[in-house]
């Protein structure tokens, strides 16, 4: 059963809420009945039927008002159930049947005024030779004339966000290993220096990238790359083939998201219980093996919600890359605004496009996260013959137990 059917069933089947809930529906129907009919209205030639529908809704509102006053004046105990004529079994049956009629009438009015009105505006706008003056008609007209360029902008935005997030995830995995490095007693001087240098580089990178706006980063990356290629002797045309605005935007999103995803992964890894690492090290695993096979799989699981949100953020934040000429949704919107000089209408369209993209991404990522939502198991769990999230990924629990017994017997 869908949510709408559940809501309708709740309104019309529970006698305590029949009058109150359906009166709201009736008020909506009255408001729609007072709206102007469109040329495509199927009630246009049935004036008497529409009048009867209107007065049915008004009568229901009057009955609901009387019942509400009765309820307010008989509030104590079960006085309303004993004295009210609306609480009798026959009255409740009649109320339920009338509530069905009210919902049906309101639905018919909504379809007639809203749906058919929208179709009428669309048909009229598509037949116009110039941009209509009304808000909705102007949006339909501009979308019909510019749907190709707008669709290209949407695809560019999606491509930048998806590929930028994937590249950033790979880079974040590499940087988070540098960020969480600790000096081990068995490390020689060269390894100690490399670990300290790698950790310092990751900290500086995160501080610089997260402390500057992505718009500024995009302009620096694009013009710096353009200048380097220009100094190498390449012409502007040759540079455009190698270092396009799309490539610069992709690099910007990837490098920007890397810093945030690195911190998210670090938080997920640090949330793993320290006993997991200690147990892995006690079984003879090195620091890298313990990190890769034990800690990191659990840290990824802990960080999945925040990592998923980064894609949604990139969809929205990619709009700032229009300053360097990336042909994304925002750049396309500005271009169409310059053609028709309709700012509000087109920016409403852009906002709805971004909203649809972020909602779709959130829904898909939510389903993905729920599929991976596995309860972490102890390191040496014997409840399963193979390792899962929270266990050593390449060794079974039985093998680990036997290995521990062998080490204990030595």
Residue 319's pLDDT band (cuts 50, 70, 90): very high
Q: Say what the pLDDT of residue 298 is.
A: 78
Q: Say what the pLDDT of residue 400 is.
A: 36
The dihedral built from the CA positions of residue 364, 366, 368 and 370, taken in this order, carries a sign that is negative
The pLDDT tens digits for 222-257 are 999 999 998 988 888 888 888 999 999 999 999 999
Exposure string for 382-399, b = 16+ CB within 10 A, e = fewer: eeeeebbbbbbeebebee
The pLDDT tens digits for 181-215 are 777 666 677 878 888 888 889 999 999 999 999 99
pLDDT of residue 152 exceeding 90, the answer is yes
Residues in the chain, overall count:
410
Q: Say what the pLDDT of residue 382 is.
A: 31
CATH of 148-341+352-370 among 1.10.8.60, 3.40.50.720, 1.10.3720.10, 1.20.1440.230: 1.10.3720.10
The pLDDT tens digits for 341-364 are 889 999 999 999 999 999 999 888
How is the chain split into domains, by residue range?
3-127, 148-341+352-370, 374-410
Residue 373's pLDDT band (cuts 50, 70, 90): low
pLDDT of residue 387 exceeding 60, the answer is no
Tell me the C-alpha to C-alpha distance, in Å, between residue 61 and each of 24, 35, 78, 223: 9, 19, 24, 66
Higher-confidence position of 219 and 9: 219
The pLDDT tens digits for 76-130 are 767 767 777 777 788 888 888 888 999 999 999 999 999 999 999 899 888 888 8
Statement: the pTM of the whole predicted model exceeds 0.95: no
Measure the CA–CA gap between 82 and 74, rounded to whole angstroms: 10
The pLDDT tens digits for 19-31 are 778 889 999 999 9
Q: Say what the pLDDT of residue 370 is.
A: 76
Q: Say what the pLDDT of residue 245 is.
A: 93
Residue 47's pLDDT band (cuts 50, 70, 90): confident
Q: Say what the pLDDT of residue 45 is.
A: 80
Higher-confidence position of 135 and 295: 135
The pLDDT tens digits for 276-313 are 777 877 877 776 777 777 777 777 777 777 777 888 99
Q: Say what the pLDDT of residue 17 is.
A: 65
Tell me the C-alpha to C-alpha distance, in Å, between residue 402 and each of 166, 257, 283, 294, 330: 39, 43, 10, 18, 60
Q: Say what the pLDDT of residue 2 is.
A: 53
Q: Say what the pLDDT of residue 101 is.
A: 92
Average confidence (pLDDT) over 131-160: 92
Average confidence (pLDDT) over 132-159: 92
């Amino acid at each position: 059963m869908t949510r709408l059917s559940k809501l309708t069933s709740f309104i019309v089947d529970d006698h305590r809420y029949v009058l109150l809930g359906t009166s709201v529906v009736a008020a909506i129907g009255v408001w729609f009945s007072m709206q102007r009919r469109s040329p495509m209205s199927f009630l246009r030639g049935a004036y008497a039927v529409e009048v009867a529908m209107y007065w049915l809704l008004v009568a229901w509102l009057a009955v609901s008002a009387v019942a509400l006053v009765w309820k307010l004046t008989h509030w104590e105990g079960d006085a309303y159930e004993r004295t009210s004529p609306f609480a009798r079994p026959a009255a409740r049956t009649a109320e339920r049947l009338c509530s069905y009629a009210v919902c049906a009438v309101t639905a018919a009015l909504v379809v007639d005024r809203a749906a058919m009105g929208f179709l009428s505006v669309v048909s009229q706008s598509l037949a116009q030779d110039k941009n209509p003056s009304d808000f909705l008609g102007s949006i339909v007209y501009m979308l019909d004339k510019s749907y190709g360029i707008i669709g290209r902008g949407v695809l560019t935005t999606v491509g930048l966000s998806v590929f930028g997030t994937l590249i950033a995830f790979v880079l974040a995995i590499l940087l988070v290993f540098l960020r969480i490095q600790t000096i081990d007693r068995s490390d020689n001087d060269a390894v100690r220096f490399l670990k300290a240098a790698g950790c310092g580089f990751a900290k500086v990178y995160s501080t610089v990238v997260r402390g500057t706006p992505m718009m500024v980063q995009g302009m620096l990356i694009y013009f710096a790359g353009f200048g380097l290629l220009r100094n190498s002797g390449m012409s502007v045309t040759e540079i455009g083939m190698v270092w396009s605005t799309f490539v610069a935007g992709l690099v910007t999103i990837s490098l920007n998201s890397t810093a945030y995803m690195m911190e998210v992964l670090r938080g997920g890894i640090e949330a793993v219980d320290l006993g997991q690492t200690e147990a892995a090290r006690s079984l003879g695993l090195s620091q890298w093996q313990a990190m890769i096979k034990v800690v990191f799989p659990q840290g990824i699981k802990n960080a999945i919600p925040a990592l998923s949100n980064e894609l949604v953020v990139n969809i929205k934040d990619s709009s700032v890359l229009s300053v360097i000429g990336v042909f994304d949704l925002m750049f396309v919107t500005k271009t169409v605004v310059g053609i028709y000089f309709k700012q509000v209408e087109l920016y409403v369209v852009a906002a709805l496009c971004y909203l649809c993209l972020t909602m779709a991404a959130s829904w898909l990522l939510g389903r993905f996260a729920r599929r991976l939502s596995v309860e972490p198991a102890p390191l040496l769990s014997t409840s399963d013959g193979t390792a899962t999230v929270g266990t050593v990924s390449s060794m079974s629990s039985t093998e680990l137990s036997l290995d521990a017994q062998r080490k204990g017997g030595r």
